[in-house]
Amino acid sequence: MSRRVLLLALAPFMLLAGCATAPSDPAARAAFRENNDPLEPLNRKVFAVNQAVDRALLKPIAKGYVRAIPQGGRDSIRNFLANVHDPVVLVNNLLQAQFKRAGITLGRFLINTTAGIAGFADVAKGEGLPEQTGDLGQTFLAWGVPEGPYLVLPLLGPSNPRDAAGIGLQVYLDPFRYVASDQGFPSVAIYAPIVVDGIDLRSRNIDSLNAIEKDAIDYYASLRSLYRQDRAAQLRGDATPVAPQPEGLYDDPGAGTPEKAEPVPQGR
């Protein structure tokens, strides 16, 4: 994909961002820029809908998932899903010219697919090959594509135009989709890993998100800060935190935002 095509895909989001006007008051303007959320009124409406769906559907399903499957089983499922996703991580490592990281990802995939029994066991981690990060949003950053404003996507939650474009296009990098389609698997089987991964992620964050919502003065702003810190860590190549932590959530929320993140390092 050429950078020109990518910029065209991001154009609608950039136009939306351009319509916002920063406050005239210096203090308010500084906060406005720090939050990078010029679409906040719209984002809060989408956030409210997402919260309603979460309370009515996603959270109950996640709780049922925890009750039905013991911790060891959930860990194995998480390992399997990560292994299925490793080819996508590998492609993004290569697109970013992160060849050492690509080698680690390839090694993980080969070891876990064989010795780890299709990835249900993370054998590679014990061999000194930790899980790597790599997605199209990270790749677009490496290519110099701007982040754009903070966005809350329907059902998917916190994001930005660069990552949103990556989410939409990344499905075409997933070899599982093509293999399953060629084998005549039904659509439900093709998209099952995405659905199960979402349920697993929600199940691992039940208690921590409950604590944040209970203690937060503004739950929307708290999750916005948490997302920016977590995403900045991913863009640096750090491992994704297992669960959001309330501690330190309000400490310097503007520090380490995606646009200020350091370049992805070569390996760990």
Q: For 173-205, how does the pLDDT look when each residue is reduced to its tens digit (9 = 90+)?
A: 888 888 877 877 877 777 888 899 999 999 999
Q: Which pLDDT does position 33 carry in this prediction?
A: 80
How far the first Cα of the chain sits from its last, in Å, is: 28
| Cα 2–Cα 16–Cα 35 angle in degrees, nearest 5 | 100
Q: Identify each DSSP E strand in 97-201 by its residue range.
A: 151-153, 157-159
Q: What are the tens digits of pLDDT across the range 120-146?
A: 999 999 999 999 999 999 999 999 999
Closest by CA to 225, choosing from 247, 195, 192, is 247
Higher pLDDT: 267 or 171? It is 171
Structure confidence by residue, pLDDT tens digits, 239-259: 555 455 555 444 433 444 444
Distance CA 260, CA 251 (A): 16
